[in-house]
Amino acid sequence: MSVRPAALAVILIGTCCASLARSQAVPFQFTQAPDIATRASALLRLDAAVGDVPFSAVDGAGGAGVLQGARLTAWFGPRVGLLARAMTSRVAGDQRWSTQLELRLRAVLRDRSAVALGVGARQEFDGATVLLANLNGATRLGRSSLAAGASLEHVLDASARGRDPVDLMTSLGWSFALRDPIHVGIEAVGQDLEGFWNPDEAEGGATIFAGPSMMLAPTGARWSLLLAAGRIFHASSSDRTSPAPRDFTTSNGYSVRAAFQLALDR
């Protein structure tokens, strides 16, 4: 089974077979922060993003870019989980899809911190298969939450597609429980950071996103809403380009992303 139908099947079956549960909300938009509370068996997330120029993932049309997606993280006990993600966008009448599957391993430390390791694969909008490995962590300090993550991506047959053999992405977030149900914070993402030391970086150079975020998560609720917006900075320069899909374009601009999260149980 290829990545695309497998990911779609996991999301569909997991959602249909689940019931609502209570869980600690994850207040981060871009970092795959592990849920420190382990009461929920799964977390369903629906995403929508918009920018002032098309996303490089679906490049080919003028005007603003729009990206939609769904992600289901299901846990089979407190340590082992499976993440399935599907993304889609319509460009010039053409509906394009990208899907992802990951095995997730999680450890909770002293009921206030967690780390998670993920390994898997993504099938991109143009059909390329990419191997993934990521490490994420989160901790709570009083009313604040901190999260950080780093991921490595390796596209199969990179030489034929003109892409880097390995791409480095990072994310960092801080969130503060202002008052129920409002959480405010700031997030930053580093994309293709190898562009800082490699002037021949294949995706056009390093790109940085930074901006404020907000979450609405009533205490004890099964759902939460996330919103993040900010500026995109083209931090380094390269004359090369490739068809690699990216959350942020390689030109200066803005991006806004919203998400709805729902805690589920079997």
SS (H, E, C) the chain: CCHHHHHHHHHHHHHHCCEECCCCCCCCCCCCCCCCCCCCCEEEEEEEEEECCCCHHHCCCCCCEEEEEEEEEEECCCCEEEEEEEEEEEECCEEEEEEEEEEEEEEEECCCEEEEEEEEEEECCCCCEEEEEEEEEEEEECCEEEEEEEEEEEECCHHHHCCCCCEEEEEEEEEEEEECCEEEEEEEEEECHHHHCCCCCCCCCCEEEEEEEEEECCCCCCEEEEEEEEEEEECCCCCCCCCCCCCCCCCCEEEEEEEEEEEEEC
Mean pLDDT of 239-263: 74
Q: What is the pLDDT of residues 67-110, one digit of tens each?
A: 788 999 988 888 899 999 998 876 556 777 889 999 999 998 88
Q: Which residue has the tokens 């998400």?
A: 259
* Predicted local confidence at residue 63, as pLDDT: 40
Name the band, by pLDDT with cuts 50, 70 and 90, for residue 65: low
Name the nearest CA neighbour of 175 among 23, 22, 26: 26
State yes or no: pLDDT of 61 exceeds 50: no
Range of the domain at 244: 3-265
Number of domains in the chain: 1
Phi-psi category of residue 92: left, alpha or beta, with phi > 0 → left and psi -120 to 50 → alpha: left
- Calculate the alpha carbon distances from 120 to 7, 45, 123, 152, 227 in Å: 11, 19, 10, 11, 27
Q: Do 137 and 148 form a contact (C-beta atoms < 8 A)?
A: yes
Name the band, by pLDDT with cuts 50, 70 and 90, for residue 263: confident
Instruction: Copy the structure tokens of residue 90.
Output: 């319509």
CATH number, domain of 228, equals: 2.40.160.40
Q: Which residue has the tokens 């991006």?
A: 255
The amino acid present at 101, given as its one-letter code, is L
Share the mean pLDDT of the chain: 79
Residue 231: alpha-carbon gap to chain centroid: 17
- The residue ranking higher by pLDDT, 39 or 156, is 156
Name the band, by pLDDT with cuts 50, 70 and 90, for residue 202: low
188 strand-pairing partners = 172, 210
